[in-house]
Structure formats: structure tokens, C-alpha cells
Amino acid sequence: MDPLARLTVLGSLNMDISVTVPALPAPGATVLGGAAEFTPGGKGANQAVAAARLAAAAGICVRMVGCVGDDDFGRALRANLKNEGIDERAVRTVPGAPTGIAMITVDQAGENIITVAPGANREVSEQDIANAADPGGGVPGVLVISAEIPLPAIVRALDGAHGAAGAGGGTAPRVLTVVNLAPAPPRADAAGILRRRPDWLVVNEPEAAAILGAPVGGLAAAARASAGLVAAGARNAVVTAGAAGAAYHGADNSESSPRTVRAFAIQARDTVGAGDTFVGALAVALAGGVPPAEAVTAAAAAAAAAATRPGAQAGMPRPADVAAATGHAWPLATTH
């Protein structure tokens, strides 16, 4: 892919409010934690930051499309994107709508519970979708779509990226699509998305289970689920399995056997943002022309590196961080 190609993320922008606790609370319980931290987040913005940190050295431009409120949180989120080198001009400020927030509780082992109030993320418009599907300058691009925006917007974005023929499986899409269905929509809505044949679908075990209607636990089950998601319509599917690794099934597989990537041996400190790092890293690797199986391995290494570092966006790695944490060299060469 041309080194000036755009990688666009269409998705959510939230202000994260995080509290660390000794143990995650049971239903009805109250726990005392540390001081609340306010940090930029939202799955879309997280994926854009992860992509930007890994794409910059390879000369791939990352831009963000989404909505924030006309408030201090919204202004802070836009400023943060700009500081990360992300093109934020297509982030729209919605008068009268609050910026999305996410309330995150993290325990001592790095596990977390997240509650999201979407706010302005619900206001993604037809013009926002058109901006996302257009890579600019006639250069093919990669479009990452996260599911913290309305489901109709995801469907329209896929249709716009692939064109009418691409949505029906006829011609190849002009824009490569990477869809992260987190949180997973109801099965009927997920089926509608898969019928649009996204080029890549990325989900974790619970999300795969929700889409397929069957339990998914462990790497072997994740591999079967990835094959099931391809059978349901995705051109390529990845099911991440936490500390076990990830499974991939898609067009470059020999025969019909899914591939698995064992997890990298790390000491996890904070898993918040690791999944978003996986998605952003996968998109960058694909944008750089890395073969699919190698791209999935690189994404797993980036996610593992993120889990060794505190914070969501703050912990997202650059190429040197990936190599230092996992021993796996980032596959894209620098442009200088």
C-alpha cells in the first residue's frame, strides 16, 4: 500500500474515568478504590492512537471520524488526538450533546469492568459516514469501524466503503474494512453486518459467543469460532482469547483449517486497551502490506506489550516497546 495511504477509524471518543480497586465488586457490593483518573478513551479513539503509534514510522497517515460534545471533555479529546499525530479534522462537535464517558474499575490483576455512557457517539451522521469511507485523493485505504456507535451507522459505513457491488460480494472493495464488534450486537444485527462481508472481523470470546449463539472458551474454541464467523460472511475473522492467544481464519488459509497464535509470555499489569491495541495494530500491519497470518501475530504482540503498561491510550506501545516486551520485531520498516 502507498506509504501515504490513510488509515481511518470510525468510532467512539470517550473520557475514561478509572478507579483501581483491590477486587472487582460483586453485584450489590461497594468497594473503596484509589483516586479517580480522567484519561482520553473510547474504543474508536483508542484504536486510532494504537494505530498512530505503530504507523508513524512507516509513513501511514491515521485519521479519526466520530463525534464529541461541545464541552471540556470533547475539547480535551480532540487535543489529545492532535498531540498523537492523528488527523482529527473529521471529528464533529455536536451542540447540546455530552461527550461520551466510560467508567472503568480495574483490579490488582489488571482485569476490569467498564460501563459506557455514549453521549455524542450516538450522533454519527450520514456526512460522518461519507467522510470515513472516502480515503481521500483516490488512494486506497483501511477503514476501522468500532461498535460503540449506532448499528445503522456501521452498516451504512460498510456499504459505503465497499460500494453496492462489494456489499453483495461482487467486486473487490476500494477500502479495506476492519470491523470490531465490541460490544457485540444482538445476533440478528450481527448477521446483518456479516452479510456485508467485512474484510476483517475482530471479536473476543464472549463477543464471538454472542454472535454465534454458542459458548466460546479457550484457543481451540476460538479457532472453531473464527471459522464459523467466516462461514457467516466475514472474509477474515479473528477471535482473541485473552491470555491464551488468538485464532484466525480467512482467505489465505490452506485447506479450511484456522490458525492460532499462542499468547506472548508477559506479566500483565493492566489489560484495559489491550483489545483496542490489537485492532489498531492489525489495521496498521494490513495497511503496510503485511501478510494476514503475520499481521495477526504482530497484533497479538502489540496487545501483549500494551498489557504490560498502565492505562489505555497511555499504555499503547510503539514498535520498540513491542520488541522490548515480547521479543517480536514489529514487521513494518521505518521510512527514514
Residues annotated as part of the active site: 276
Cα–Cα distance for residue pair 259/263, rounded to 1 Å: 13
Name the 3-class secondary structure at 188.
helix
**Sign of the alpha-carbon torsion through 189, 101, 42, 106:** negative
Alpha-carbon gap, residue 312 to 303, rounded angstroms: 11
| Euclidean distance between CA atoms 60 and 112, whole angstroms | 32
Angle between helix 292-307 and 319-326 (nearest 10): 80
CB 281 within 8 A of CB 299: yes
Handedness of CA 288, 293, 299, 305 (dihedral sign): negative
Radius of gyration of the chain, Cα coordinates, nearest whole angstrom: 18
What span, in angstroms and rounded, lies between the C-alpha atoms of 330 and 72?
36
Give the CA distances from residue 232 to residues 121, 160, 192, 246, 301, in Å, rounded to whole numbers and listed in that order: 28, 21, 10, 19, 28
- Grid coordinates given for 163: 460500494
Residue pair 257/250 in contact by the 8 Å Cβ criterion: no
Going by DSSP bridges, is the β-strand pair 200-204/175-180 parallel, antiparallel, or unpaired? parallel
Specify the amino acid at residue 132.
Answer: A
Number of residues in the chain = 336
| Residue with grid cell 467522510, as numbered in its chain | 131
Return phi, psi of residue 18, to 5°. -110, 140
